[in-house]
Structure formats: structure tokens, C-alpha cells
Amino acid sequence: MQITGSSRWKTYENWSRRYNNPIISFYLGKTPNIVLNDIESAYELLEKRGEIYSSRPRNIMGQEILSGNMRGIGMAYGPRYRQWRKFQHTGMIGKAALAFRQVQDLESCVLLRDFFRPSVNYNDSLRRFATSVAFSISYGRRIRSLSDPIILENIRAQQGNKTCSFKLTYSLLFIFGNTTTAYSKTTKPGRYIVESWPFLLKLPKFLQWFRWEQDRIRQLDTEMYTRLLLEVKGKMDRGISKPCLSTNMFESVREGEMTLVQMAYNVSSSFAAGIATITATVEVFLMAMLHYPECLNKARSEIDSIVGRDRMPSFEDMNSLPYTNALIKEVLRWKPIARTGFAHATTKDDTYKGFYIPKGSVVYANIYAISKDSDIFPEPDSFIPERFISPTHPRVINFDLPFGFGRRICPGKQVALQAVFIIISRLIWGFNFIPPFDENNHPILPDLEAFEGELVTRPKPFLLRFEPRDRDTKKLMDSSAAEAEVELEGWD
């Protein structure tokens, strides 16, 4: 049996149906791989038995070589991971997350204005928004445009290196929020020979041809992360820094507890992950609204009745918009962006329903298949926000499936959901979404199966025009953006 790399989540689901078992297993080399295709087994093993299932499999290219074992998302479960996790929690949960609402609010105002400007690519506008918010959260400074000096400086540095064009591409992917994509390529089974033959690491480094490019990328990453962190330290010393993860790092880490490079990687992890999540989720929302305009109209009616037309939705409206919140949850379920999530690894032998799971097994939760479970989500291929209005299943009531499980659940969930809410609610309030039309005046809608990416997927680019609902709405969005730009000057 063959695993199709670009859509292995579908292959896993097909195997599960073929063998009439939600748990499937196969070997890659000598390593058993277990895939959980139902919500019951995923939560039982990855959450309730977290003491066994919370580690990560060894990833030589991505975690050890490309990341120097410093990306928390790929760390084995242990003291270093718990230290990373503690820092992420204190910086992005509860009151800390609420503190970031201001910059999310202001940047969303700028984003709305970008959407109705001619000749502006909405995908680029989304990336700029997500990059700026993530940069503000990590480093206390915004990104005004994709030609921001920090981006251009990094691109020039890459071009000055005579290695290959991949380095420039990698830089652009990182700065625009897609480091997760570059990292995920290293996790694909069979891509790199050293994953199967780790004894190659015993060769002298100058003979380890497979690592040359990743070593150079890691060096550039390390220089950039460290420089950004030290810039914040300089602002702190001058008393002009904004509260952010970097300031929290300097204030909370005791001397000798981490090296400067470890601190820099800890801060950068939130920046990289948040951008891909926000942009892909909003793109799925736009895809859904083109195919299901009746859902758009229901959410719009709710927002108009609660918020009115004289102001935009705000975070204070969040608890008063049940249908809009249900629509956002359905966006996350309908086309999940992390379809198999990150691989877990077992630290002990275990059994489940007669199924033996040996120590060192690689375990995936097939979020794609779980999201299509018709026993929990009737008509799973359809976009039905109402399924989240009055749910009875506990995993639908507390819907955090897209963010992972147990001790590995995404620590930035609250911050990401805040950003998604403020963008989506304001897009619904402010715009009509107009697809292109063919020669017969039929709308050209995006292909629902046209996605790209591996670990994190997103819709392939599709054409779309943003039309303000009326003149007064456009005027309000324009003036709000101008006011936001003034307030954001403190984040430059």
C-alpha cells in the first residue's frame, strides 16, 4: 500500500474504512506508525494518557539540523519542552492574550482598507496583517508592508549568500509566515536518507552533504532571531519597548536558565506558527462564503442586528454573536488546516482495545477524518454552522480539535481565535464577496479540493473581489484605518 505524500490524510481515512477500524497501523522502516481516525481514540490516548503519548518522534533534518533542537513544537517531552511550554502559556493565555487585542483590533482596521484598494492582492494583505500581528506579539513592533526594512534586509542578506535560490525562497516563506511549511517538509517520511540511516551523522560534517543547506538556513535563522531579540532588549534599556513575548522573556528568565539563542528561538516559534494559522483560516472562510452565501447572509443579519451599521464589530461583541462564532468553528472543522497534526511518540508500551502500541511508536490523530465523522458531524462535507449552536457531544461543545490534544495543544489558541474573530466578523459586516464570472455570466468558484501544503494546508489562490456594502460603510472603514495608523505609530 502506498502513502500519497500530498494527501496522506485521505489515504489514512480510506484505509480506516477499508478495514473497518478507526485505528490503523503500518511500518516505516522499523518504526510502527499508528493513525487514529476517530475522536474517541484520539482523546483517550493523546489526552487522557498524555504521560505516554506527549513526546515527539526523532526528526533529524527538521528538529536537530534545521532547528538545533530549539523549536519547541518538535521537542521530545521532557524538562526543556516543559520550560518552553511554560513560557508560551505565560505569554499567550488569559490576561496576556487579552493584552494583544489592541494591536489585533488596529491592524484589522488597516486590513479592511487594504481589501478595497485597487491593485492590492488580498492574499498579500492577509499575510501582511498576520505577519504584523505576530511580529507585534513576539517583538513589540509591527510590519507596515511586505517591503518593511526587516524583510528587505533579510532578503538582501540571503541574496548576498552564493548558495542557491532556495535560500531566498525560504527567507520569503519565513518572513511571510510560512516557516511551518519549510519545517514540515523535513517531517515527510522518506524525504531524507539520514532519517533512515542515522549512522550518516557519524561522518565528518564536511561529508554530510544532506545537511549543508539546512545548516546554512539555521545560521541565518539564528542570526535573525537573535538580532530581533536584542533589538527589544535595547528598547527595554531605553524604556521604549512594548509589552511582548520578548520583554516577557527577559523579565521572567533567570540568569543562566537559557542561552540567548534558546531565548530567541522560544520567542520566534509563536511568530512563525501564528501567521500560517491565521492566513489559512481566513482563506478557508472566504472559500466557504463563496460556496455558501446563505450562511454569510445569516451571520450578516446577526451582526447587523447586534452591532448595527454605525460601527464595526468589536471584541466586546464576541459573546453576543452565537451564529458568527458557530460559523468560525465550522470554518475550522470543514476544511481543517492541520490535517494530521504533528506526530506524537509513545514513551512506554501501551494497549488500547486489544491493540498493542509499543514504545517509540509514531502516533497521528487524523483530524481530517475526525472532522468528517458523520456520527458526530452529520453531512460532514456540507458547511453547516448550526451544528455548533446547541451541540450535545462534549467534543463539539468544547471544540478545540483543530488545535491538538492534551499536553501538546497549541498554546497560542486563544490569541489565534481572537485574530480570526475580529477579521471574520468585520469582513462579514463590511463587504460583499464577488467571484469572477465566465463568458456565460456563471460565477467561477474556488475548487473545494484545491489545497496546497503538507503539515499545514491552505486553499490554492483563487480570485475574489471585496466590495464594500455601501458608501457609508466604506467611509467608516477608511476613517477607522486612518485612526488606527496613527495609534499604530507607537508600534513602529
Cell numbers representing residue 436 in the block: 469572477
DSSP characters for 123-136?
A: HHHHHHHHHHHHHH
Express each pLDDT in 370-420 by its tens digit: 999 999 999 999 999 999 998 888 888 889 899 999 999 999 999 999 999
CA nearest to 221, candidates 285, 272, 255, 257: 272
Whole domain around residue 208: which residue ranges? 5-491
pLDDT of 460 above 70: yes
Report the amino acid identity of residue 465: R
Residue 462 has pLDDT above 50, yes or no: yes
Dist. CA 365–CA 342, nearest whole Å:
8
Q: What is the DSSP string of 301-348?
A: HHHHHHT-SSS---GGGGGG-HHHHHHHHHHHHHS-SSSS-SPEE-SS
SS3 state at 444: coil
Please give the pLDDT value at position 161: 46
Query: In whole angstroms, what is the distance from residue 322 CA to residue 135 CA?
Result: 30
Question: Which positions ≥6 away from 288 have C-beta within 8 Å?
Answer: 295, 330, 331, 334, 335, 383
Task: Name the pLDDT band for 1 (thresholds 50, 70, 90).
Answer: low
Calculate the CA 129 to chain-centre distance: 14
User: Would you say how long the chain is, in residues?
Assistant: 492
Q: Could you tell me which of 359, 270, 269, 352 has the C-alpha nearest to residue 92? A: 270
Annotated binding site: 410
Give the residue from 6, 10, 1, 4 showing the smallest Cα distance to 37: 10
DSSP annotation of 140: S
Asked whether residue 288 carries a pLDDT value surpassing 60, the answer given is yes
DSSP code, position 373: -
* CB-based contact 454:5 (threshold 8 Å): yes
As annotated, the binding site for heme includes: 410
The 10s digit of each residue's pLDDT in 32-52 is: 999 999 999 999 999 999 999
What is the DSSP code (8-state) at residue 81?
Answer: H
Give residue 3's pLDDT: 58
> According to the model, what pLDDT value does residue 5 have?
54
Q: Kindly state the cell numbers that stand for 467.
A: 466590495
Mean pLDDT of 97-121: 92
Model pTM above 0.85:
yes
pLDDT mean over 269-280:
80
pLDDT on residue 178: 39
Angstrom CA distances, 161 to 153, 215, 417, 479, stand at: 13, 13, 38, 44
Q: What is the Cα–Cα distance from 29 to 184, expressed in whole angstroms?
A: 20
- What are the residues facing 365 on neighbouring strands? 36
The pLDDT score that the predictor gives to residue 476 is 98
Tell me phi and psi for residue 364, to 5 degrees.
Answer: -115, 145
Lowest-pLDDT choice from 95-109, 110-124, 355-369, 470-484: 110-124
Instruction: Tell me the average pLDDT of the chain.
Output: 89
Which phi and psi angles does 338 have, rounded to 5°? -105, 85
**Confidence (pLDDT) at 69:** 87
User: What band does 257 get if pLDDT is binned at 50, 70 and 90?
Assistant: confident
Distance CA 48, CA 34 (A): 17
Our count of domains for the chain comes to 1
Cβ pair 88, 248 in contact under 8 A: no
Nearest to 123, CA basis, from 376, 463, 396, 478: 463
The CATH number of the domain holding residue 308 is 1.10.630.10
DSSP state string for 164-222: -HHHHHHHHHHHTT-HHHHHHHTTSTTS-HHHH-GGGGGS-GGG-GGGHHHHHHHHHHH
User: 291 and 383 in contact (C-beta within 8 Å)?
Assistant: yes
CA distances from 51 to 45, 55, 288, 453 (A): 9, 9, 38, 31
Q: In this predicted structure, what is the pLDDT of residue 480?
A: 98
CA distances from 27 to 3, 6, 24 (A): 11, 19, 11
Burial class (CB in 10 A: 0-12, 13-18, 19+), 189: middle
Does residue 17 carry a pLDDT above 60? yes
Q: How far apart are CA 312 and CA 473, in angstroms?
A: 9
